Amino acid sequence: MRRIIVLIGLVVSLLFLNVSYTFAEESELFENNAKSSILIEQSTGKILYENNAHEELSPASMTKIMTLILVMEAIDKKQLSPEEEITVSEYASSMGGTQVFLEAGEIMTVDDLVKAVAIASANDASVALAEKIAGSEKAFVVQMNEKAQQLNLQHTHFENSSGLPAENHYSSAYDMAMMSKELLKYENIVNYTTIYEDYLRKGEENEFWLVNTNKLVRFNPEVDGLKTGYTSEAKFCLSATAMKDDMRVIAVVMGVETSKDRNKLTMELINHAFSHYVVEKLFDRHETLTNINNTRSEARMYDVVTSEPINIVHRKSDKEKFVPKINVQLKENYSLPLSKGEQIGKVIVSNENDVLSESPLVLTKEMKKASFMTQFKRTFQQLMTLNSH
């Protein structure tokens, strides 16, 4: 009897040891001194780690992630070009905080202003871009908040385009990760954020040395962005992204007391992702998944493509074979015209009963309403075809 009891006790002990080991492996304890933090895989948005990720906090200059989203979106839609010149307003030149000392009336290209924002976190450059896109910073902030609603960011509200302290200006680590995910859809953004140092007005008397506020891009070859933030209220914040073996991750930390601790925690999160997770690619960005044949539109046939790379992510230790199911859903009711890049549906990737990811499907070109004469000709042709049978 005693032997049986001892054996049962041994089995129970082993079971508890196994549970404890699994829990430790899953939770991966960090020395987390941030008010809020999160780690996600970029293409799927899968959360790999989070701590107090939805608390509303001051984002400081991480605000500029949303500013850059709207800038890159405008460039992508050909509403703005990198070579386009912008005349700096007196208001933009008056911005305090971090700046590149733009002068009222000075002419800068969009490319140089984006560089100033992405590398040096320039408030004056942010406002100059905002005014170019929306006419005023106030109107641009309306667009920022509208975009936040489109992305379903429930813990974000902006009052300016730069992140300067303002009442009712807040976000969360989760929302910042989702914004970073959105910005990284524009793959050339890392051509700016990965630069450690550069110059504005190179060779001129007022040449300005740009030094990246994100020191991780200098010392960690896998890190190629994204945006730092600091104010006395927000403390040290960072949304960092890194790429390794076709897997891109985003780590956001907010409210850390020192830049050293901020960078240390960020790298621990990134290294955790690369050590324990793997990505399997399903579709590239802008890969055609289906098309729409619309008799009311000008061109009739329109390709529907992915808006971002679509992958699945799982732990390296997970031996289960993922056999993803792909479900393409298009909008049944929509009114014309629809612009290039506008969402027309979504692709859902699932594994048995679990949804692994949902991603927007977009149009490759503008879908215009066909003229009355075009629709008349099509109707006539259809009637002629029916009569011929």
pLDDT in tens, the chain (389 residues): 444 333 333 333 333 333 333 333 444 557 789 999 999 999 889 999 999 999 999 999 999 999 999 999 999 999 999 999 999 999 999 998 999 999 999 999 999 999 999 999 999 999 999 999 999 999 999 999 999 999 999 999 999 999 999 999 999 999 999 999 999 999 999 999 999 999 999 989 889 999 999 999 999 999 999 999 999 999 999 999 999 988 999 999 999 999 999 999 999 999 999 999 999 889 998 999 999 988 788 888 999 999 988 888 888 887 566 678 999 999 988 989 999 999 999 999 988 778 888 899 999 999 998 887 777 776 767 677 776 65
Q: What is the end-to-end Cα distance of the chain in Å, rounded?
A: 90
* Rounded distance between C-alpha atoms, residue 120 and residue 241, angstroms: 17
* Rounded distance between C-alpha atoms, residue 273 and residue 275, angstroms: 5
Q: Name the amino acid, one letter, at 331.
A: K
Question: DSSP characters for 59-103?
Answer: -GGGGHHHHHHHHHHHHHTTSS-TT-EEEPPHHHHT--SS-----
Q: Which residues contact 204 (CB under 8 A, 6 or more apart)?
A: none
- CB neighbourhood size of 162 (10 A): 27
- Residue 377: predicted pLDDT: 75
Its sign, for the CA torsion 166, 171, 177, 181, is negative
CATH 1.10.3470 fits 284-372, yes or no: no
* Rounded distance between C-alpha atoms, residue 283 and residue 293, angstroms: 23
- Residue 148: predicted pLDDT: 98
Q: Report CA-CA distances (Å) from 259 to 30, 54, 77, 167, 262.
A: 17, 22, 37, 24, 5
User: pLDDT of 281-305, one tens digit each?
Assistant: 899 989 999 999 887 888 889 999 9
Give the domain ranges of the chain. 36-279, 284-372
* Rounded distance between C-alpha atoms, residue 248 and residue 388, angstroms: 57
* Rounded distance between C-alpha atoms, residue 38 and residue 241, angstroms: 12
User: CB–CB of 95/123 below 8 Å?
Assistant: yes
- Residue 4: predicted pLDDT: 38
- Residue 8: predicted pLDDT: 35
Local structure of 47: helix, strand or coil: strand
Q: Name the amino acid, one letter, at 266.
A: T
Distance of alpha carbon 60 from the chain centroid: 17
- Residue 320: predicted pLDDT: 64
Local structure of 263: helix, strand or coil: helix
- CB neighbourhood size of 378 (10 A): 14
* Rounded distance between C-alpha atoms, residue 374 and residue 134, angstroms: 35
- Residue 22: predicted pLDDT: 34
Q: Quote the longest CA-to-CA distance of the chain.
A: 94
Q: Which residues pair with 107 in a beta bridge?
A: 87
* Rounded distance between C-alpha atoms, residue 285 and residue 287, angstroms: 6
User: CB–CB of 70/145 below 8 Å?
Assistant: no
Topology annotation, domain 36-279: Beta-lactamase (3.40.710)
Which parts of the chain fold into alpha helices (H)?
Answer: 2-27, 64-76, 90-93, 110-120, 123-134, 137-150, 173-183, 190-193, 216-219, 259-276, 372-388
Local structure of 329: helix, strand or coil: strand
Give the catalytic positions in this structure. 61, 64, 121
User: CB–CB of 118/61 below 8 Å?
Assistant: no
User: CB–CB of 158/169 below 8 Å?
Assistant: yes
User: CB–CB of 251/263 below 8 Å?
Assistant: no
